[in-house]
Amino acid sequence: MQRPLVPLVVAAALLCAGCSGGSDSGSGSGSARGAEKSGNASASRSAADHGAAVRAAVAATKKTSARIDERIEIGDGTTEYVVSVKGDFDWADAAGRLAVSLRNPAVPGKTSPRMDEIFADGTVYVGGFAELAGSWGSIRRDEAEAHYALRAPMNDPEHVLRQVAQMRRISRVGEETVNGTPAVHYRGVLADETVTLRMAKDMRAKIDSAREQIGGITVYADVWIDRKGQLVRTRLDWPMGAAGVKATMNLADHGKPVRAKAPDPGKVVPMPNLGGPLPG
């Protein structure tokens, strides 16, 4: 996980149009240009419509709650790590409880590091560590930063929704079934500023450096929207040759009650900065 970013393999396709002489070439070119303009306008309208559908689904999801089951796959070409984030989150009340674990699938019998999170009163509380002996660390939710690519600050599900709401070049993939629920699948890409949204300065510098070396990065974004207009799955994917990062978040049981109470103040230790594989 500490290896440098692997350059992307970039393939370019060059489209060439030939010209032929003749008395009727002007009329044909005009028709072609007209058709091209019409096609481009139609594509732009479709992309705008798809973007509106995605943003509407994000807005609808943020008015309710859901059960979260997220899997973040991180590989460097030789070793893969999986971060699991599971629990309940209420966007409307800005509250939730999540359990986070890290494992190496190649070592199935090994005990995984684990962390508990509580989102309440504008603060994220972290616990479950043996060294804390029942105490909780805390950080203001709006001050938390992401320290890894495609990780949300403190695994905040709202951050993921904010990113997919900014998808660009969106296309409709088709209708699929997600965990037994019919849904429409949309795919797009994230702009550079969306990829580095609320990212720690040192990690942002690494990504900027990689972008300069390889001439650009491409992070794909996918969402699945159910018949009620709510998100049932999101996916962010940054392929880097043999390496890469992929974060898939499933959302279910929309509208379920979420109980998230802040720990006893006497057991809370403020932490100005929290980073690492588990907090993100």
Give the tokens for residue 155. 């695994």
In this structure, which amino acid lies at residue 250?
Answer: N
Q: For the chain, give the number of residues.
A: 280
**What's residue 265's pLDDT?**
95
**What's residue 3's pLDDT?**
36
What is the rounded CA–CA span in Å between residue 90 and residue 78?
A: 37
Strands, DSSP E only, in the chain?
65-75, 80-90, 95-103, 114-120, 123-127, 136-140, 168-178, 181-190, 219-226, 231-240, 243-252, 268-270
List, run by run, the mean pLDDT of 10-residue segments along the chain (280 residues): 31 22 41 49 68 97 98 90 97 97 83 91 90 86 94 98 97 96 98 95 89 84 98 95 92 96 94 86
Q: Is the pTM of this model over 0.85?
A: no
